[in-house]
């Protein structure tokens, strides 16, 4: 899939760095969710966390996971701020193609959202 931002300037993102930021408890939860969405996004913008859970990613400095209620609250806030797409949930965060695109090798599917190939 060719990268196309309709003429907007764009550059590459180091997804490993975004994953580290997502795990960094110094950042507010709502932004950590946005970092996780980009850090784990596949070629259709869906993130399944490669065997991790969002709770493990968002653990505090002592390793305690946020409550499901607090995670859902932060996901709702991230949607309100336009950081992630409305179909995002605790199992799969979705980032907009206006924000993030990825080509080449990688997954084009999401079982959580029933995407078998492309959108
Ligand atoms: Zn998905």
Residue 85: inside a domain, yes or no?
Answer: yes
Backbone angles phi, psi at 94, to 5 degrees: -120, 130
**What is the 112 CA–ligand 1 centroid distance (Å)?**
5
Cα 118 to averaged position of ligand 1 atoms, centre (Å): 11
CA-to-CA distance for 18 and 5, rounded, in angstroms?
20
Going from the Cα of 98 to the center of ligand 1, the distance in angstroms, rounded, reads 17
Cα-to-centroid distance, 93 and ligand 1 (Å): 6
Give, to the nearest 10 degrees, the angle between helix 68-80 and helix 29-39. 80
Prediction pTM value: 0.94
Query: pLDDT tens for residues 22-76?
Result: 999 999 999 999 999 999 999 999 998 988 999 999 999 999 999 999 999 999 9
pLDDT for the residue 50: 86
Judge whether 116 lies within some domain: no
d(CA 63, ligand 1 centre) in Å = 26
Domain residues for the domain of 50 are 15-94
Question: What is the structure's pLDDT at 48?
Answer: 87
Q: Is residue 61 part of a domain?
A: yes
Give the pLDDT band (50/70/90) at residue 2: confident
The domain total for the chain is: 1
CB 47, CB 40: distance < 8 Å: yes
Give the Å distance between the CA of 45 and the centre of ligand 1.
8
State residue 119's pLDDT score. 47
How far apart are the CA of 7 and the centre of ligand 1, in A? 27
Does 86 score more than 90 pLDDT? yes
């Amino acid at each position: 899939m060719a990268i196309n931002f309709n003429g907007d300037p764009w550059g590459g993102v180091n997804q490993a760095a975004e994953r580290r930021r997502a795990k960094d408890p110094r950042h507010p939860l709502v932004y950590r969710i946005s970092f996780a969405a980009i850090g784990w996004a596949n070629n259709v913008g869906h993130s399944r966390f490669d065997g991790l859970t969002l709770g493990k990613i968002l653990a505090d400095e002592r390793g305690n996971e946020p409550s499901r209620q607090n995670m859902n609250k932060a996901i709702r806030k991230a949607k309100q701020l336009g950081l992630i797409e409305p179909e995002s949930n605790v199992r799969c965060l979705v980032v907009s193609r206006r924000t993030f695109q990825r080509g080449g090798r990688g997954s084009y599917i999401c079982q959580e959202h029933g995407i078998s190939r492309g959108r």
